[in-house]
Amino acid sequence: MKVKKFYGETTEEAVGKVRQELGANAIILHEKEILPQGIWRFFKRPSVEIVAAREEQVKNQRKENRREEKPISYDKTNAAKSMASSRRNDDEVSKELQDMKKLLNTLVQKKSTEGFPAVLQGVHQKPVLDLYKQLKLQDVQENIIDDLIEELKKVTTEQDTEKEANKKIRQVLKLKLEEKVIMKDFKPRSKNAVFVGPTGVGKTTTIAKLAARYALEEGKKVGMISADTYRIAAVEQLKTYSEILNIPIKIVYEPEEMAETLKSFSDRELILIDTAGRSHRNMEQINELQELLDAIEDKDIYLVLSATSSTKDLRAITKHYEFLQDYKIIFTKTDEATTYGGILNSSIENDKPVLYLTNGQSVPDDIENASVEKLIGLFTEEG
């Protein structure tokens, strides 16, 4: 039996095509609405698919079937033959339908990547397209997205199921993040940890969180130094935490006092040093910071950045901190950010790892180690 599929925007249109090709005797076997798939589904109207066959063929088929239904046959071989042939016909039909389905899928895939950026040409997997869209929405830089998509084009195939494709996406993301953003098994080089960054990003709050974590959870001997003497309030803020957490604090007014203060903390296993929130636009302040840093021989530097800053602002900030030979990044306020692209952009562009993420004002709870899972979570969050 020859069966054919017809499509139209409306049932009338599809039926029109059936009549035109199969004549007035055509019989409609099946009709269904096709909802557009993928990226274009919001722009396209649903269409109609009709499976039709020619009337007399169907009649013949019916006659044959009726004959088969007869319980006893004087000609068993004939009946068997006819059953076998009908079964073979069914197989043929289903194979034909399968072929059509495949062809249709290919066409739909092709259609949905047309007019897209060059990097999406040759992407066969919908999950890869979805990832592209998601990263774009998250304001991840184009070159970072392109690298990722190119990599994914290499490892995914047209035959992958959605589940397989998603698994490969996770693997590639994990590898990239571990290579460029996340530092597994970070071990501080020194017991002196200096926190630098723009005003108001959350340096002091983050120091309090970390102090609490190391002192209370890990039982470490922690000390805090405030070198943020621009504002009385800033020193007071850290002093308050010092009292609540029962962690000693010292104030450093001039870089010259730093060495002496560090010496007085020689029994401490971890010293967290708070600096004034310098404006990255003010070179004089940046020079003062350099002086202060020079006074601390041995140190790990943490650049504190807010996830709420735009990529453009983050770039301006990191540019001004370029003079730091080496640093690790802490991203604050992930709870207030609406996009997270800046985290990847800053880290990858400056080739510096992200160590911690903070997600609220609560000391000591709202801080966590940056991890692949956490970042993927941020980037794939709904909404």
Ligand X SMILES: Nc1nc2c(ncn2[C@@H]2O[C@H](COP(=O)(O)OP(=O)(O)O)[C@@H](O)[C@H]2O)c(=O)[nH]1
Q: Is 363 in the site for Mg ion (CB under 5 A)?
A: no
- Subset of residues 205 to 234 that bind ligand X, contact rule: CB under 6 A: 205
Provide, rounded to whole angstroms, the least separation between the CB of residue 164 and Mg ion: 48
Residues in the interface with ligand X (CB under 6 A) total 17
- Of the pair 203, 320, the CB lying nearest ligand X is at 203
**Packing angle between helix 142-155 and helix 126-137, nearest 10 degrees?**
170
In the list Mg ion, ligand X, none, the entry touching 332 (Cβ below 5 to 8 angstroms by class) is: ligand X
- Determine if 276 is a binding residue for Mg ion (CB under 5 A): no
The 3-state DSSP class for residue 353 equals coil
Q: Per rule CB under 5 A, is residue 234 in the interface with Mg ion?
A: yes
Place of tokens 């040759």: 122
User: Binders of ligand X among 259-288, rule CB under 6 A?
Assistant: 277
Do residues 207 and 218 make contact, with C-beta atoms less than 8 angstroms apart?
no
Stretch that binds ligand X, among 54-62, 310-318, 341-349, 355-363 (CB under 6 A): 355-363
Tokens 């495949």, residue located:
102
What sign results for the dihedral spanned by CA atoms 242, 243, 244, 246?
A: positive
CB of 238 to Mg ion, least distance (A): 7
Residues with Cβ within 8 Å of residue 358, at least 6 apart in sequence:
202, 205, 206, 209, 330, 331, 332, 333, 334, 366, 367, 368
Q: Which residues contact residue 318 at a Cβ distance below 8 angstroms, ignoring those fewer than 6 apart?
A: 303, 305, 346, 349, 350
Work out how close the CB of 140 gets to ligand X at its nearest, in angstroms, rounded to a whole number.
21
152: left (phi over 0), alpha (psi -120 to 50) or beta: alpha
Candidates 23, 122, 200, 377; binder of ligand X (CB under 6 A) is: 200
* By CB under 5 A, residue 52 contacts Mg ion: no
333 binds ligand X (CB under 6 A): yes
Binding residues vs ligand X (CB under 6 A)? 199-205, 277, 332-333, 335-336, 358-361, 366
Binding residues vs Mg ion (CB under 5 A)? 203-204, 234
